[in-house]
Amino acid sequence: MKVNVKLDNNRLPDKYTRHAAEEFKQNDFPIVSFPFSIEDVPADTKEIAFALTDLDSIPVCGFEWIHWLVAGLDGKDVVVPENASQENPLHWTQGNNSSAGHIYNLGDQPISHKYMGPKPPSGVHDYTLTVYALDQKLNFNDGFWYNELLHNIEGHIIEQVKVDLPVEN
CB 9 within 8 A of CB 168: no
Please choose, from the candidates 103, 33, 32, 120, the residue with its C-alpha nearest in 3D space to the C-alpha of residue 63: 103
Query: What is the domain count for the chain?
Result: 1
Q: What is the distance between the alpha carbons of residues 42 and 38, in angstroms, rounded to a whole number? A: 11
pLDDT tens digit string along 35-51? 999 999 999 999 999 99
- CATH number of the domain within which 114 lies: 3.90.280.10
Q: What is the distance between the alpha carbons of residues 83 and 85, in angstroms, rounded to a whole number? A: 5
| Global confidence as pTM | 0.94
The answer on pLDDT for 97 being more than 70 is yes
What pLDDT, on a 0 to 100 scale, did the predictor assign at position 111?
79
- Output phi, psi for 9, to 5 deg: 55, 45
Q: What is the mean pLDDT of residues 130-134?
A: 98
Q: Which domain holds residue 146?
A: 2-168
Which H or E run includes 152? helix 146-153
Which H or E run includes 39? strand 36-39
**How many other CB atoms sit within 10 Å of the CB of residue 64?**
15
Q: How confident is the model at residue 103 (pLDDT cuts 50, 70, 90)?
A: low
Report the percent of the chain where pLDDT is more than 90: 78
Q: How confident is the model at residue 71 (pLDDT cuts 50, 70, 90)?
A: very high
pLDDT tens digit string along 50-62? 999 999 888 888 8
What pLDDT, on a 0 to 100 scale, did the predictor assign at position 106?
59
